[in-house]
Structure formats: C-alpha cells, structure tokens
Structure 1
Amino acid sequence: MRCRTRAKTTDDDDDDDDDESKELMMLQKEFTAFAIELAEAANEETLKYWRKTSLGVETKNDASPVTVADKNAETAMRTLVKRRYPSHAIFGEEHGIELGLEKKSDDKKHEYLWVFDPIDGTKSFITGKPLWGTLIALLRDGEPVLGVLEQPVLKERWIGCKGTQTTFNGDPVSVHGDEQKELKEALMYSTTPLMFYDENEVRYERLKREVKIPMFGCDCYAYGLLASGFCDIVCEADLKPYDYMALVPIVLGAGGKMTDWEGEPLKFVVEEEGGDGESFQGEVLAAASERLWKASVASLKKQTR
C-alpha cells in the first residue's frame, strides 16, 4: 500500500501552536522546578567540601583538577534525572555522555539532553574563591532552552528559560542594553588569557586591544554579571558544551546576545554514549547589546591573506 502525505491545514497549524505552547509551559514550570531540585542536590555535595583544607585534588588527562565534590555533585544530579526522566540523555564534565532509555529515530538525536558542570571553576573552588558555580542546562534537539547558574556560597541563582525573562534569586534581571555604548568603552571578562592560543590568541588580542578594560578570573560568574547589567562582554575559547550551555538561556533571557565567534547560535547534539562530546563550538561570545556584539564579532573575524 502506498501512503500519501496530507497537505497541512489551518487545523494542523493550530495543533502545532498548541503543542508548542504546551511544551513551553512544561519547560517553564515542570522542568524549571526540576532544575532547581538538581541545583539543590548539587549544593548538598559541594558545600560539604567547601574550604576544607583536606580536600583531595586529582589531575585529569587534560591536566585540569577535579575533586570529590565535582564527582559527587554530578552523580547526585544524574541519579535524579535517571529516576525522574529516564528517557532523557545526560552529558556531564566528570562522567561523560549517557544516553536515555529511548532514542529518537533521526540519527540517534535525543529530544532532551541535560548538560552538567558540577563545579565550573574548580581552581577557584580549591583555592577558596567563591566565584565558581554549578551549571545545569536542558537542551531540546540541540538548542539550550533552560539554564541555571548556581552559586551556593553567595546564595545566588540565575535562571534562564526560553519564553521568559531571566531571573536572579527570583527577580527579573536584564543586561544594560545600551546601544550607544561603543567597544572602546566596554568592560570585558574572560576566565584566563591562557585559554587563547594559536589563531584564537591572535583574534582575541585584537578584540582585547579594542575594549576599555579586559578582566579575568570569574569563570561562569561573569555571565551572571553580564545578565544582571554589570559588564559588557564575555569572550572565551577552548570550552566544552558543559562550560557554557547553561549560560545561553540566561544571557538571551536577559536581553543579551550569545553566539560563537562567527555569530552563529550555540547548539550541541550527542551522537553516542561515553566520551566528552564530538562536534561542538569551543569559542563563545556574550554581549550586553546588539551593537557591542556586532563590533566584537567583526573584531574576532578571521583574517584572510
């Protein structure tokens, strides 16, 4: 028997709109509430070890440090996801990719993927500086639609969710959005100058010379500051999806811009179990206004010979 496709009618469009509305409602209520549960579960683990001089530190294959707090916090969040949403995939810095129980048929893509960085800024955590954070993201078909930046020592929480305004401790926040501000007046953060090398170093140095003040040392916390209107640009490289996916909905929901260095949207889709991801964007740029974002993208543009 040959099947025929049916032309989409107005009723079909209405159904699609209804489905989209239902998904947004579930995202804004059910999944956001669950993300807060995840953050609180991670807090229980990280705060056990905060400023403990006996904290054991290991060195991973990439020479970055990891502690028992990182591992335990991620394990706690993974356990909750597998219990509540067993069909969802998980990608975390410490334990890699874990596919859900049900796969979508199209190229092994998963509709929902939770992305965790239990302690973004482990070096800050180890040395007692309270500017690290727990990052929790939910991606739908590769798009980051929900993000939490949790700083339990300072009791600060940013939440970004598609279709709503970003909040800080429950109150709406926004970037400054000053379209008159020029690049030469901008205050820019990056985690460290050591994250830029080879061609990326050349591109970054060009942007650094154009801004007013380049600053370092905030890790994920800088994006929260940008979303709350306190800085202008965050420019980083050599990142993995767990370093920034949670921050995308936070910046966008605050009225800012966040893309890769080419100006393209940030997306990530898992392909197989295990490992730390395959194809992803490692260079990210966040800005507090359209003007600053466009000027930054232009400054970072690859030079052709």
Structure 2
Amino acid sequence: MSIKDYQPALAAARQAASAAADILLHYWRKGVTVEWKSDATPVTVADREAELAIREVLASELPGASIFGEEFGHDGQSQEWLWLVDPLDGTKSFVRRTPFFSTQIALMHRGELVLGVSSAPVYGETMWGCTGKGAWFQGDPVQIADTTELAQASISFGNIKSLTGDARWTAMGGLVAQANRVRGYGDFCHYHLLARGALDLVIESDVNILDVAALAVIVREAGGVFTDLAGRGPSLETTSVLAGTPALHRLALARLHIDQGTSA
C-alpha cells in the first residue's frame, strides 16, 4: 500500500468494525458471562470473538502489518505498519447493559496515527478519519466547533478519579466554574460529539492508546487538537487526553500544565 493512499486500509478498518458490530450486538441481546483479567478489568466472549473477526479482515488487506489488540496482544514483525485494536472499548458498560461501548480501530505508519474508525453499534453510529481526508460521521463530513471562549464552552470529563489527588484538580475546578456547560459523556461519546461540533473540550485520564487512537485521528481531521494532559501528541505511551477546539485546548493546557515532577 502506498503511504500516500490509505483508502484501502480505511475501507478494511470500516469492514472490520462492521464485522465486530454484528458480534457485539448478538451478545448484547443474548447476554454474556463475565470473566476477570489479572488487572481486575472484565472480559467476555464478545471481546474475544470481535477481535478475532477484526484481525481476520485487517490481515487480509495488509498482511505484512503488525496488530496490537486489547485481547490477544501484539502480533507481527513490521516496524512500519501497526494496527491498534480495541474490539470492545467499554466492557464495563457492556456487561452492565449500558450502551456506551464501541469498537476502536486505528492504523499507525512509522509511529504516526494515519487513520481511525470508531463504531458504536447500539447507536448505529460510525465515525472515521484519515490523514488529509477529513473526518466523517455516517458518510457526511464533520467539523469541530469554532468556540473560543470558555464562557460559551461545553466540557466533558472522563475517568478523572486519578486526578483528584494532584495539583491539576484545582485548575480543573476553575475550568468547571467558568464553562457554560459541564458533562461526563465518557468513552467514545464525548469524542464523537467533539468532532462534529456538539462539544468543545474533553479532559480524560486513565486511558490507554487502544482506547483513543482512532478517536485522536477523527478529532484531528475534524480540525481539533488532541494531546495528553502535558501537551504531548498521541503515542503508544498515552495515558490521558486533552482534546478540543484549538483555542480552548490552548487555554486548558495552560491552566493544567503544572509541573509535578511526574508525567501526565
């Protein structure tokens, strides 16, 4: 595949997400037995079957690429191409019958995220983005909002428990006090809203790159800025997110950029 044309890989990622959606919806209706990993997070047969289906589709399109998946780890020797796959992001929601779960598929080329697909099957909602091709929602192009003032901004927070004990908590309180509206949509939802202009800023901690890689591409290609809480671009080491309109991202980063001697 030419590095200038990611469309075949994007088509494969969309096909893989659709295959995963069929599996997830089947088990959503049927119900599943929950198992627990060593890190005390849940896993189900739906997670595993969806990832296997994704891997099969992706391997047929880009057979030389490596794949890093949530359930089956890293396969492949390629240093150039790496698929990042979370077949069921939001398993805790899934097993509690909360529809805030999704499939996340992204492709890295030489360390740079170049495409991403985010599928929320219960909502029948799919977004995707590709370098230089923009971001799309159900086949229509989307654009980030042009909000520049905190007083007009809608902010969504996710997984923020780990921030309650550090100096950024007070800074976040200041953002909350001045914002127009504060929500906690979480998971895929607040990134989808951000990319299509219905939300202005997302702040999240306790994530890993598999959760957010595809969403990072979508937000970026919609015209937004997506970094971690220290302002670093997404990478395999990402554990937090600050994403928003360019103006609000700059404002929030300045407020939250407090030197604590540890990385975000």
Any gaps of 5 or more consecutive residues in structure 1?
Answer: 1-18, 104-109, 269-279
Say if 1:193 and 1:216, in contact at 8 Å, map to a contact too. no
Say if 2:147 and 2:200, in contact at 8 Å, map to a contact too. no
Say if 1:88 and 1:114, in contact at 8 Å, map to a contact too. yes
| Count of residue correspondences | 258
For 1:111-122, what aligned pairs fall within 5 Å after superposition?
Answer: 111-122=80-91
Which one has the bigger strand percentage? 2
Say if 2:9 and 2:62, in contact at 8 Å, map to a contact too. no
- CA distance in structure 1 between the partners assigned to 2:3 and 2:145 by the alignment: 30
Say if 1:261 and 1:300, in contact at 8 Å, map to a contact too. yes
1:55 aligns to what? Answer: 32
Matched, 1:290 2:258: no
TM-score, length of structure 1 as denominator length: 0.79
Say if 2:119 and 2:125, in contact at 8 Å, map to a contact too. yes
Say if 2:117 and 2:214, in contact at 8 Å, map to a contact too. yes
Matched, 1:90 2:63: no
Shift of residue 131, structure 1, vs aligned partner: 2.1
Say if 1:192 and 1:216, in contact at 8 Å, map to a contact too. no
- CA distance in structure 1 between the partners assigned to 2:255 and 2:187 by the alignment: 22
- CA distance in structure 2 between the partners assigned to 1:35 and 1:209 by the alignment: 40
2:190 aligns to what? Answer: 222
2:19 aligns to what? Answer: 41
Aligned residues with identical type, % of pairs: 37
- CA distance in structure 1 between the partners assigned to 2:61 and 2:260 by the alignment: 50
Any gaps of 5 or more consecutive residues in structure 2?
Answer: none
For 1:17-166, what aligned pairs fall within 5 Å after superposition?
Answer: 22-25=2-5, 27=6, 29-52=7-30, 54-100=31-77, 103=78, 110-166=79-135
Shift of residue 127, structure 1, vs aligned partner: 2.0
Q: Render the CA deviation track for 1:235-293: whole Å, top value 9, x for unaligned.
A: 1112111011111110011111101122222123xxxxxxxxxxx12121110x22100
- CA distance in structure 2 between the partners assigned to 1:303 and 1:138 by the alignment: 32
For 1:206-221, what aligned pairs fall within 5 Å after superposition?
Answer: 206-211=171-176, 212=179, 213-221=181-189
Say if 1:24 and 1:162, in contact at 8 Å, map to a contact too. no
After superposition, the Cα gap between the structure-2 partners of 1:161 and 1:204, relative to the gap in structure 1 and judged at 3 Å, is farther
Indicate the SS of the match to 2:35: strand
After superposition, the Cα gap between the structure-2 partners of 1:247 and 1:233, relative to the gap in structure 1 and judged at 3 Å, is same
- CA distance in structure 1 between the partners assigned to 2:120 and 2:185 by the alignment: 15
After superposition, the Cα gap between the structure-2 partners of 1:217 and 1:295, relative to the gap in structure 1 and judged at 3 Å, is same
